[in-house]
Structure 1
Amino acid sequence: MQAGSTVMVVEDDAAVRTVVTDHLRLAGCQVMPHRDGALAWEAFQQTPPDLLILDRMLPGLSGDELCRRVREVSAVPILMLTALGSLEHRIDGLENGADDYLAKPFSLRELQLRVNVQLRRGNPSAPLAFHAGPFRVDAEHRRVWLDGREIALTTREYELLVYLVRNPDRVISRDEILREVWRWGFGDASTVTVHVRRLREKIEADPKIPAYLCTEWGAGYRFVLDGNG
């Protein structure tokens, strides 16, 4: 973990909140623990953290609603930590703007790895700014423009888009995306599907007929820089 990073933990279960808070503090993070979703939202607006970890079932304001509100104003990474671990619930969480989803019960080792991924910044050896077709990327500030218009992206959407623009005209499987973008050796491929859909809504004139982020049925995705997919 990146020592000094600020993490907000929103969890109404006192035991879970304490364990997660203590673990993150031992790792060098500054932790802002909350049990109530509404109070966490007020605190977030005053002092946005580097990472938000939240339960889905919260008093005051649900985790889903808190996630949606945060996503309207910020691209801060969001990790949902919840007992609702079915595929449908995971997809719902991702649709609401979460970047990752960890179901209870969980190991602190897995939590640490997922937090590491969310806090990790771009490869320092990569160019800090570059153009790829109509896309301009500022890696230092993690910003992207398309035809001169800045695109508001979450952390995961940014990392996915940058990986795609750096690998144009090549069929990329969802397993490869999970491995290279999420840093997962295995995982639920529907995570990629949800993020691709969200990314298309931001970069495509018509997300139903994508010109840049094209589906190669049965194989994965192909990114077309000239927009003639």
Structure 2
Amino acid sequence: MSRVLPELFATAVRRDGARPFLTYYDDTSGERIELSAATTANWVAKTANLLVDEYDAEAGDTVAIGLPPHWLGVVWALSTWSAGAALTSGTGTIAITGPDFAIRGERETVASALLPLGGRFREPLPDGVHDYGAEVYNHPDVFTAFDALTAASPAYDDLTHEDLISTAEPVAERILVTRTLTDRAGLSLLVGVISGGGSIVLCRNLDAAKLERRVADEKVDRVDNVLEG
């Protein structure tokens, strides 16, 4: 098995890039988006190019993800590793925040309006905050890393790529969750799904009355850690 996370994900894309990888629902907005592994890889490449070309991300930098449970959190996690940087639960060199602007990065702050298809903000942003939706589409969907990762490279706080991969239980099922996938427990699940060939149905603002039907419609094998809201 691959010992660095970008290669682990690349292996999953090569294995079956067309199959659903991440299906996202927001029951407040009514949004549903389904990302195959290949489509996710395109978003990851664009975002990694944005990180490197516009924000000078490199080995030694950290990225803080201040998003609610959202498909873009997964994209940013994978993009951070592709760029050679590491995720952090603290203050990052670079931060990605939602429309609440809840966190700031030490060097760069990027915000997403969390609109469908990663759309841009409709109102001006605070000074010093970049609009992810306005900038990401300008970047190519193929990424070539400058910094070579190793199994010992930092991945999340004090955990290495080897740590995250070796401790994640492979998940071959289609699993429905409502939790963030970018904290320690969420990353373990995400890495397990990538390594095991499973898929995720991520529900934000879950309407409990829709749960049973959604499980059936999405052919979910397991419901995990579901919380209301």
Structure 1-normalised TM-score? 0.28
| Larger RCO: 1 or 2 (CA < 8 Å, sep 6+) | 2
Larger radius of gyration: 1
